[in-house]
Amino acid sequence: GFGRRIKLNTCFYDDNCAYLQKAIDSEQNYNFVDELENKLSSYLGGRAVLTTNTGTGSMHMAIKLAASIAYGSNDYKNKRVFCSDLCPIEQAMPILYEGMIPTFIDSGYTDFNIDPESLNKAFELYSDTKIVIINHLYGFPGNVFLIKKICEEHGAILIENASEAFGARVDGKAVGTIGDIGVFDFGKGKIISADSGGAIAAGDKANIEIVRSLADMSKEKLPWNHHNCIGYDYRMSNITAAVISSQLPHIDEVISGKRHIFERYRDNLNEDLIYLNNSDENIEPNYWRPMILCDSSINAKEKRSENGYSYEDIHGTSSPMEIIDALDAFGADAAPLYMPMSMQPLFKSYELISLEGKILYLEPYNTETCLFSSEVSRDASRRGLCLPSDMTMTEEEQFQIIEIVNACFSGQSIDRDTTETVMMACGM
Ligand SMILES: *Cc1c(COP(=O)(O)O)cnc(C)c1O
């Protein structure tokens, strides 16, 4: 083992005590929230910014803002929202908060974000859709300029969820500033992490002011509490803003550290394993979570159910849970890929649109239906996993992790001291 836990994501933490002291000192009464909004605004090319207490809160506000712009009123119940299929629940759940209809869009194999072809297909089927939400999966940007163009052709508003990709760029432009509305997250494990926190950015300052009021209980600007409409308690705390402010100056260091971790995996893992992210020259990921895909033959090998999972030990191939268990036995955290939204029982009655057309819910653990589905998001989720990307991990520790993963996959022999345990952990 490593003698300590190697985490999926631990980022650079500066000594933020001075910042915290300043945030809670009632005499200084220092306003980190305003300061952070200004800093984020300049980092995001001058976009207007509102900070919030969670990324989910920001996503909720972004959907409300997009809907009020698209429909010019609060009357948008049962209107459709296109949403990436491969994303965490925090992106999709707020669509339901607003009584709108999510329609999920399949991923493409280049970047596992929304596939532009499938999005075109979705607009052919539902041409009056006015809101599209994309996610830059695990910090690796999608084809956002093309997606933006498709949205413009259909008069739809693009919400760019940059929660996992803060600091990533496309054509030199920060992700979250290419779509109409950008959403950011500074929660646990993110590249800038204050335990919880989010932000929303938009080109039009007036729009952000509308959201600022909504996220502050719709309190009117009067000395007393006067409320005309529904509001939400979504503002960021001064302490959270202080912690984020202490980390923000280190963003380049963090991304460069993450890039080295990613490159070490890329250069040393069995070449059939690593998912090579979109390597177009114009893409600069933040490398938040390196992801690998196992052989597609694992379908027969690994079975998941509501009660857990099992896998057979077959040489020359491996499955996500087998690798995750092997790493766990050594004291390192890895994680399965997101289970797509279209497989969540919660979204049973909503469609997924892929190149094949539209399909309704597939039971997530029904191997027969799942095995023969051709959707990219489902394929990726069955055989993908995220590797440890802990910034405190040493090069030596990462090479041990690489050895464990390679051993699981190929059954090849590795360093004598670790071989036995690896073989055991891999069920060999
Ligand atoms: C982390 C994250 C969020 C926000 O999650 P919170 O639980 O609100 O911090 C939203 N979208 C994506 C894609 C995320 O990764």
Give the containing element (helix H, strand E) for 284. strand 283-284
Question: How does 142-181 read in b/e, with b if 16+ C-beta sit within 10 Å?
Answer: bbbeebbebbeebebbbbbbbbbbbbbbbeebbbbbbbbb
Cα–Cα distance for residue pair 390/340, rounded to 1 Å: 25
Cα–Cα distance for residue pair 400/414, rounded to 1 Å: 10
Closest of 126, 125, 124, 146 to residue 134, by C-alpha: 146
- Given a contact cutoff of 8 angstroms between Cβ atoms, the answer to whether 198 and 192 are in contact is no
3-state secondary structure of 161: strand
Q: What is the pLDDT of residue 17?
A: 84
Q: What is the pLDDT of residue 12?
A: 64
- Given a contact cutoff of 8 angstroms between Cβ atoms, the answer to whether 393 and 325 are in contact is no
- C-beta of 375 in contact with ligand 1 (< 6 A): no
Cα–Cα distance for residue pair 176/10, rounded to 1 Å: 23
- C-beta of 54 in contact with ligand 1 (< 6 A): yes
pLDDT along the chain (428 residues), means of 10: 89 76 88 97 98 98 97 92 97 98 95 95 98 96 96 98 98 98 96 94 97 96 94 97 94 95 92 70 94 73 88 79 94 96 94 93 72 81 93 95 88 44 44
- C-beta of 164 in contact with ligand 1 (< 6 A): yes
- Find the 339 Cα to ligand 1 centroid distance in Å: 15
Q: What is the pLDDT of residue 45?
A: 97
- C-beta of 84 in contact with ligand 1 (< 6 A): no
DSSP E strand boundaries for 8-47:
none
- C-beta of 333 in contact with ligand 1 (< 6 A): no
Residue nearest to atom 14 of ligand 1 (CA): 163
In terms of phi and psi (left: phi > 0; alpha: psi -120 to 50; beta: otherwise), the region of 274 is beta
Count other Cβ atoms within 10 Å, centred on residue 246: 21
Q: Compute the half-sphere exposure of residue 288: CA atoms within 13 Å on the CB side of its CA.
A: 21
Give the containing element (helix H, strand E) for 182. strand 181-185
Amino acid letter, residue 68: S
